[in-house]
Structure 1
Amino acid sequence: MGVTERRPRTARCTQRAFGVLAALGLLALGSAAPVAAAPANAPAAGPDTGLASTAECKFGGKNIKSTPWSLQRVLLDELRDQATGKGVKVAVIDTGVDNDNPQIEPALLPGDDFVGGTKGTEDENGHGTRVAGIIAAQPVGGTGFSGLAHDAKILPLRYTGGEEEGNSETMSRAIKAAVAADVDVINISSDTADKKPNTGLEAAVAQAVANDILVVVAAGNDGADGKHEKTYPAAYDGVLAVAASDRNNERAQFSQSGDFVDIAAPGVGMVSTVPNGGQCPADGTSFAAPYVAGVAALMVEKYPDWTSQEIAARLMQTADRPGTGPDAELGWGVVDPVAALTGDDTPQQEPVEDKPREGGRVAPMALTIGESEEERTERYAVYVIGTATVLTLLVSGTAIANRDRRRKRTAGTTADTTTSTRN
């Protein structure tokens, strides 16, 4: 969160050599070009990532039936036994959130628009609707996708999108509106075009942090060159900066690296809601940030007395990491939703490094009583093979015994016949 010293890891496996382009939808502020409109039943606006997951998205399309990989990796039933986000408000500062998608419409609160008059509930671009869906989309029949905190409420604050381009000023106004609305979490899936800090934006973020609001921000999608570079507002003090991870819990190739990165979350092939109904997949740290924001919303419900700093510390402490501490690619590791909501209920102010064994090796997990699913499968296989072998022996033995009896019976009959003939 901008306050813990980062220790970059010295070596990591070479990233897969996919096409390298900026990921879909991480909006720029300042002098960037205006966001293009994406009409219904047309491909979504934004640069092509070169990855198949962003192809041919249509607004008002169909739901994707299967469960996305980013949800398959979570024990959702166990997670939702802990919390569902009920009573929690999350501000989505973005391109608006479309209220015509039935999965996200029930979660929407009356919002605001700082570049138009839509009250935040129209989204010509589709970016904000995707972000909101990852947090709070309702479970519905015919699809395996739903938001992590499906009972949370979304405050849509439109700072850019449509014909008018947003900037650091409109984002700052949106942050202040979120503070005034007394939200619990703010999600910002954008960075500044010039990668430079802005005094007004920094002050708005500081106001939110001072009001004990957890500010979750995407780290940025310009990391394909591997260089470490700060992005804003992600690098401001008190912010939880989120990188994108892939299916192997490695840094997604486009995800920005830097000592400011606090945590990572799935950001490749992220299925979510789009305007006018339906779903589409997309890639980007834009969609990793709301994954973390959704888990944070669950924690706010379960731990209502915890501060935003304590919630952030638990998220980082329980994250899945390859080393004992943080690095510049994944921060403290890939978020583990179930681990963040289970275990010790004692809050902590900052994450701490894991204790290594002698020789610098990471201590293994403690042995547990019982067996894994793989071990159980192997045991059953042994039973089946053993039973089959016994049955085979029994059948073979019975066949041999029957054969011997037939031979003895035949031999006896022949001997009787011979004796009678001789008499």
Structure 2
Amino acid sequence: MLGVLAAPLLVLSTPAATPAAADEAPDQCTFPDKPYAGRPWSLQRVLLDEAWKQSTGKGVRVAVIDTGVDVKNRQLAKAVDVRSGRNFMRKNLKDENGNKIERGKENGTSDSVGHGTKVAGIIAARPMKGTGFVGLAPEATVIPIQQNDAEGHGTTETLAAAIRYAAGPARADVINISQDTANAVEPTSELKQAVNEALAKKVVVVASAGNDGLGGNVKDTYPASYEGVLAVAASDRNNERAAFSQSSESVDVAAPGVDMISTVPGGGHCSDNGTSFSAPYVTGVAALLKEKQPTWTPRQINAQIMQTAERATSGHDRLVGWGVVDPVRALAEADEPIEQPVPGNDSAEKAKPPSAVALPLGETAQERASRLGAYVVVGSSVLVAIIAGGAVAIRDARRRAKRKAGT
């Protein structure tokens, strides 16, 4: 860990390895890996065809500031803008033994870690025969920006430079940052300034909340905690906070982050856990909204995602923010922009028992006379029917008795 607050190390938002569900993941992740044939649980919860009727993310440019994006994976080959890619890793890096560290390609299209390739896949992987995995915004364009590695050589200085490049020359509409500062150290103002510059250019900035949530830790992480950044926590299959997901008042929304299937370098798929993979899930939704409503500001897109999230309570909490993102609802209700989410719980409203039907408390004398008259008429008719019916029954009985006597 560096002790320099001006440029603290950045940590990829992936917790220590945890066992994945047996039906969801390969036994061991390798690069390349086997293709995942089924539809991952995180996509089964979404009516993708319904979402894609509204938007597929076409024309939206998404910067993935991470460990690079490997374009040898077939699902990403046509999704990545190779020309706009950039490598911001510091030159002449050496490991503890003095050996030079491989920096990767200058255009950010190599990924020895696999982290950035997984992130990019969740956002914009193209459909492919033989797998049910696909990106949430399958026609969005990914801008690969290599800025970190497995050892955390990325700093807030390189992250700030990457954000400025993404929002400037690379012409990104959305930026995904699946990393945070080590020990939740707040960096100097340079990173915040870069974020603010991106927001001023109407670029949506999505960041992972971090993975230090075990034991009930509550703390802010950066850049997720900056005003205007959409901070994403991780949820599990029950739409509850994943145990590792960082809790904070700055958490805006949650998204699936457990047993997340995605693309890996060289081809195929692998499973992983972390808010690193919750953030791109939300980034994919932001890309869909950006295509549908290209003039909306980052604030309005963020508010739409938060307002339409699936909530267990009526308002915001520090575990999952405004709730777990609902891609279909976010798009279906994206007609008029809002500036901020408001408390309310649609599911709770729907669960209320139906109201009792109102009954009149009195009647006029005329209504009473009319009602009694109707009773008399109906009663008389019933009495006549009863008498007539009885007479017929008596007559029939007498005829049967006569016939028997005659025989």
Q: TM-score, normalised by structure 2?
A: 0.76
Asked if 1:48 corresponds to 2:26, the answer is no
The 2-side partners of 1:55 and 1:32 are apart by 29
Instruction: Look up the equivalent residue of 2:213 and give its one-letter code.
Output: G
Give the secondary-structure state (helix, strand or coil) at the position aligned to 1:315. Answer: helix
The 1-side partners of 2:10 and 2:248 are apart by 22
Question: Which of 207, 211, 216 does residue 197 from structure 2 map onto?
Answer: 207
> For residues 21-70 of structure 1, what are the alpha-carbon distances to aligned partners after superposition, in whole Å with 9 as ceiling and x for unaligned?
xxxxxxxx83479x9xxxxxxxxx98423445585101112111010000
The 2-side partners of 1:105 and 1:333 are apart by 33
Question: Which of 30, 35, 39 does residue 67 from structure 1 map onto?
Answer: 39
Question: Which of 34, 48, 54 does residue 82 from structure 1 map onto?
Answer: 54
The 2-side partners of 1:279 and 1:232 are apart by 29
**Corresponding residue number in structure 2 for 1:5:** none
Q: How does 1:101-120 map to 2 (within 5 A)?
A: 101-109=73-81, 110=83, 111-115=85-89, 116=103, 117-120=105-108
- The answer to whether the 8 A contact 2:228-2:298 is kept is no
Question: Which of 1, 18, 30 does residue 58 from structure 1 map onto?
Answer: 30
> For residues 357-407 of structure 1, what are the alpha-carbon distances to aligned partners after superposition, in whole Å with 9 as ceiling and x for unaligned?
xxxx94226999xxxxxxxxxxxxxxxxxxxxxxxxxxxxxxxxxxxxxxx
Cα distance change of structure 1 residues 161 and 79 upon mapping to structure 2, 3 Å threshold: same
- The answer to whether the 8 A contact 2:309-2:326 is kept is yes
Q: How does 1:143-222 map to 2 (within 5 A)?
A: 143-161=131-149, 165-180=153-168, 181-198=170-187, 199-222=189-212
- The answer to whether the 8 A contact 1:92-1:156 is kept is yes
> For residues 125-174 of structure 1, what are the alpha-carbon distances to aligned partners after superposition, in whole Å with 9 as ceiling and x for unaligned?
00000000000000000000000001000001111127882111111110
User: Which 4+ stretches in 1 moved above 3 angstroms?
Assistant: 50-55, 365-368
**Corresponding residue number in structure 1 for 2:123:** 135
Cα distance change of structure 1 residues 96 and 323 upon mapping to structure 2, 3 Å threshold: same
The 2-side partners of 1:108 and 1:167 are apart by 24
Offset, 1:305: 1.8
The 1-side partners of 2:256 and 2:244 are apart by 13
Q: How does 1:14-53 map to 2 (within 5 A)?
A: 30-31=8-9, 47-51=16-20
Instruction: Report which stretch shifted further, 298-307 or 194-203.
Output: 194-203
- The answer to whether the 8 A contact 2:209-2:231 is kept is yes
**Corresponding residue number in structure 1 for 2:373:** none
Give the secondary-structure state (helix, strand or coil) at the position aligned to 1:194. Answer: helix
Q: Which has the larger radius of gyration?
A: 2
The 1-side partners of 2:206 and 2:121 are apart by 16
> For residues 261-320 of structure 1, what are the alpha-carbon distances to aligned partners after superposition, in whole Å with 9 as ceiling and x for unaligned?
000000001100000001001000000000000011000011112111111111000000
Cα distance change of structure 1 residues 302 and 367 upon mapping to structure 2, 3 Å threshold: farther
Give the secondary-structure state (helix, strand or coil) at the position aligned to 2:205. Answer: strand
Structure 2, unaligned runs of 5 or more = 1-6, 90-102, 355-407
Offset, 1:195: 0.8
Aligned length: 326
The 2-side partners of 1:157 and 1:355 are apart by 39
- The answer to whether the 8 A contact 2:9-2:156 is kept is no
Give the secondary-structure state (helix, strand or coil) at the position aligned to 1:107. Answer: coil
Asked if 1:293 corresponds to 2:283, the answer is yes
The 1-side partners of 2:184 and 2:341 are apart by 27
> For residues 70-119 of structure 1, what are the alpha-carbon distances to aligned partners after superposition, in whole Å with 9 as ceiling and x for unaligned?
00000011111111110000000000000110101111112000114431
Structure 1, unaligned runs of 5 or more = 1-28, 36-44, 369-423
- The answer to whether the 8 A contact 1:242-1:261 is kept is yes
The 2-side partners of 1:32 and 1:135 are apart by 22
Give the secondary-structure state (helix, strand or coil) at the position aligned to 1:352. Answer: coil
Give the secondary-structure state (helix, strand or coil) at the position aligned to 1:157. Answer: strand
Instruction: Report which stretch shifted further, 222-231 or 90-99.
Output: 222-231
Question: Which of 364, 382, 385 does residue 350 from structure 2 map onto?
Answer: 364
The 1-side partners of 2:343 and 2:162 are apart by 36
The 2-side partners of 1:250 and 1:163 are apart by 30
Instruction: Look up the equivalent residue of 2:349 and give its one-letter code.
Output: A
- The answer to whether the 8 A contact 2:39-2:131 is kept is yes
Give the secondary-structure state (helix, strand or coil) at the position aligned to 2:199. Answer: helix
Give the secondary-structure state (helix, strand or coil) at the position aligned to 2:142. Answer: strand
**Corresponding residue number in structure 2 for 1:405:** none
Cα distance change of structure 1 residues 160 and 290 upon mapping to structure 2, 3 Å threshold: same
Cα distance change of structure 1 residues 192 and 54 upon mapping to structure 2, 3 Å threshold: farther
The 1-side partners of 2:306 and 2:107 are apart by 34
